[in-house]
Each structure stands twice: as structure tokens, then as C-alpha cells.
């Protein structure tokens, strides 16, 4: 319905009735972007049904951004990575996706790299809970506190940690020093945040919090900001490791990523941690949770030269498209 609504709003078309059959075998709440896939599929099907056209009517990047925007109608302040890869993927390669603006580049994975997807058995309906949005709020507050400390006059307009890095003209790795310098408290209370920003409780609710995070009273700004900037730098280094075919470095970065997700961003869970440990004991070079976290799947990296029992192989596929029957 989010995808349908997005097309209705974008193209101002009169709604027509549709008979829709949906089929799939991806487990729900598995961190594999099944919900975003439904939004993108719903949007493309609605576009084709109402206009008779698809990507000759709208640019793929524009379409991906539209799908990311309308999926937020369910109440989650999600990013746009899932929708971007579902729309822009090219057969045989991975994608590196960057935002502000949305850009993408093909990434050739090393021939000896095998990624295994393992379900933890734990699920969490992120749209029905507030954990995901709480992390978004903490990152937003961290960015605004640092922006105010750096004497950025329009700090209220800073909404993301990336925006702050761009305003300060610093790389992700350089921003870690800014985090260490400014966010020195392990936990910030709402009162301390109000004092640092010099705003009222009502302003805080409007500027920082979202609809389902109004209850928040404590914020781990150092941990969340540290994770985000370190993770952004790991993405850059993982890309470089792919270029050189260094699967051991790729595995090490995946391990560091999961440790950070578990300890700093706190979006893992016991069963996910257990799956990651089992993968490593079974010879994986690295493993980490995938998706929003708090359940779902882990992705583990193996060297194809290892003696492995593989249930089935799947190579990177192309993105969403219409198939005429």
C-alpha cells in the first residue's frame, strides 16, 4: 500500500482496481528487505497498471528515492539502501550505495568469496516497536549536540551524522575524533540534552524526537555516533578489500562491524550473536548481522576453497523489472 500511495501522489492518477497476487518464500522480519521489496514491487506494478509504462516514465534513482520516502508512511524512519539496491542492482555484482545525493557504483566481489545467509530463528517486527526509531533519534541528537558545540548556527537543520560531517568537511574516520572530543558522557539524560542545546521540552519533542519515541529519557550519543562513523569507514575499507581480493580483510571488517552493532549500536540479540559465533567456529572468515537487527539473519563470509556443504548457490541478480507474460 505504501508503494501504491507513492505512485498515486507522484503521478496524480485516478485509482483503478487491481487484482494482485503476491508470492515469495523469504521469511518475514528476517532482515532481508522483504518489506522494502513489497513496496518497490507495489509501486512498479501500480505505475505500470495506471500508465502503461515503467522506467521510461521515471528514472530508476528517482523511483528508488520515492519508494524509500513512502515506506516511511508505516512509521519507521528508515534509510534508502534496501530500495536502492532492489531497483538499481546489476547482475553479477554488488553495489556500493551512498546518499546525499543517492549514488551507486558496481563492486566486483572476489571470485573466491562465498557469502552464506543464516537465519537466527529470532524475529522482531520493527514497524510495531520503537527500537529502530530510537537509534535514529539518538544519531540525530548526537549530530545536533556536536553541531551546536561546533558553533554551527543552523544546527537545528542538521538531521544526520553525515550532514554534520559534510558541514565540517571531515571524513568518517576524522569524525571519530570529533565524537571523542565532544560526546564525553556515556549516557545523556533528556535534561542534559535540553541544557546543551538550549531549547525547551516542546522544542525537543519537535526537533529531535519522532512520534513513537516521545517516551525517551536517556540517550547513548557517544556509542551511536561512534558506531555510525566507524561503520561508514568500514564500508570504504571493505570496498578497497574487494578491489584487491583480500577476503581475510573483508572478514575482519565484518567481524568488527558485528562487534560494533552488538556493543555500540546495540541492535543485535543473543541468537544472532550465537549464529555469528557458530559461523566463525565453522571456518567463516567473518560474520555479521544483516538488516535492521534485533533478530533475522546473519551473513558469513567463507573462502570457496574451503570444504563446504552448500544448500544452494545464488549469484547477484539484477534489480526489479516487469516481466510480460
- 263 is an active site residue: no
Task: Please tell me the number of Cα atoms within 13 Å of 277 on its side-chain side.
Answer: 8
The answer to whether 119 touches 296, Cβ cutoff 8 Å, is yes
SS3 sequence of the chain: CHHHHHHHHHHCCCCCCCCCCCCCCCCCCCCCCHHHHHHHHHHHHHHHHHHCCCCCCCCHHHHHHHHHHHHHHHCCCCCCHHHHHHHHCCCCCEEEEECCCCEEEEECCCCCEEEEEEECCCCCCHHHCCHHHHHHHHHHHHHHHHHHHCCCCCHHHCCCHHHHHHHHCCCHHHHHHHHHHHCCCCCEEHHHHHHHHCCCHHHHHHHCCCHHHCCCCEECHHHHHHHHHHHHHHHHHHHHHHHHCCHHHHHHHHHHHHHHHHHCCCCCCHHHHHHHHHHHHCCCCEEEECCCCCCCEEEEEEECCCCCCCCCCCCCCCCCCCCCC
**Alpha carbon distance, N-terminus to C-terminus of the chain:** 24
The answer to whether 112 touches 305, Cβ cutoff 8 Å, is yes
Catalytic residue selected from 59, 62, 82, 270 = 82
Active site residues: 82
Amino acid at each position: 500500500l505504501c508503494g501504491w500511495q507513492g505512485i498515486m501522489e507522484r503521478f496524480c492518477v485516478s485509482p483503478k482496481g487491481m487484482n494482485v497476487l503476491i508470492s515469495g518464500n523469504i521469511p518475514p522480519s528476517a532482515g532481508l528487505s522483504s518489506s522494502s521489496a513489497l513496496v518497490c514491487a507495489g509501486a512498479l506494478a501500480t505505475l505500470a497498471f495506471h500508465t502503461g509504462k515503467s522506467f521510461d516514465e521515471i528514472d530508476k534513482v528517482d523511483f528508488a528515492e520515492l519508494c524509500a520516502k513512502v515506506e516511511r508512511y508505516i512509521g519507521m524512519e528508515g534509510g534508502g539502501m534496501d530500495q536502492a539496491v532492489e531497483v538499481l542492482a546489476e547482475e553479477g555484482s554488488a553495489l556500493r550505495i551512498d546518499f546525499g545525493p543517492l549514488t551507486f557504483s558496481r563492486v566486483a566481489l572476489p571470485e573466491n568469496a562465498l557469502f552464506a545467509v543464516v537465519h537466527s530463528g529470532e524475529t522482531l517486527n520493527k514497524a510495531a516497536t520503537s527500537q529502530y526509531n530510537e537509534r535514529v533519534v539518538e544519531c540525530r541528537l548526537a549530530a545536533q549536540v556536536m553541531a551546536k558545540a561546533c558553533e554551527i548556527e543552523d544546527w537545528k537543520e542538521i538531521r544526520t551524522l553525515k550532514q554534520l560531517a559534510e558541514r565540517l568537511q571531515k571524513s568518517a574516520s576524522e569524525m571519530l575524533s570529533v565524537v571523542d572530543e565532544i560526546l564525553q558522557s556515556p549516557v545523556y539524560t533528556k535534561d542534559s540534552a535540553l541544557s546543551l542545546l538550549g531549547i525547551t521540552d516542546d522544542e525537543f519533542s519537535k526537533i529531535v524526537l519522532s512520534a513513537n519515541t516521545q517516551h525517551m529519557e536517556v540517550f547513548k550519543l557517544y556509542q551511536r555516533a561512534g558506531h555510525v562513523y566507524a561503520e561508514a569507514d568500514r564500508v570504504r575499507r571493505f570496498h578497497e578489500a574487494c578491489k584487491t581480493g583480500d577476503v581475510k580483510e573483508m572478514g575482519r571488517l565484518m567481524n568488527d562491524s558485528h562487534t560494533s552493532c552488538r556493543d555500540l549500536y546495540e541492535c543485535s540479540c543473543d541468537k544472532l550473536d550465537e549464529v555469528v559465533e557458530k559461523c566463525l567456529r565453522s571456518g567463516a572468515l567473518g560474520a555479521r548481522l544483516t538488516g535492521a537487527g534485533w533478530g533475522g539473519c546473519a551473513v558469513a563470509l567463507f573462502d570457496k576453497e574451503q570444504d563446504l556443504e552448500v544448500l544452494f548457490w545464488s549469484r547477484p541478480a539484477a534489480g526489479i523489472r516487469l516481466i510480460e507474460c
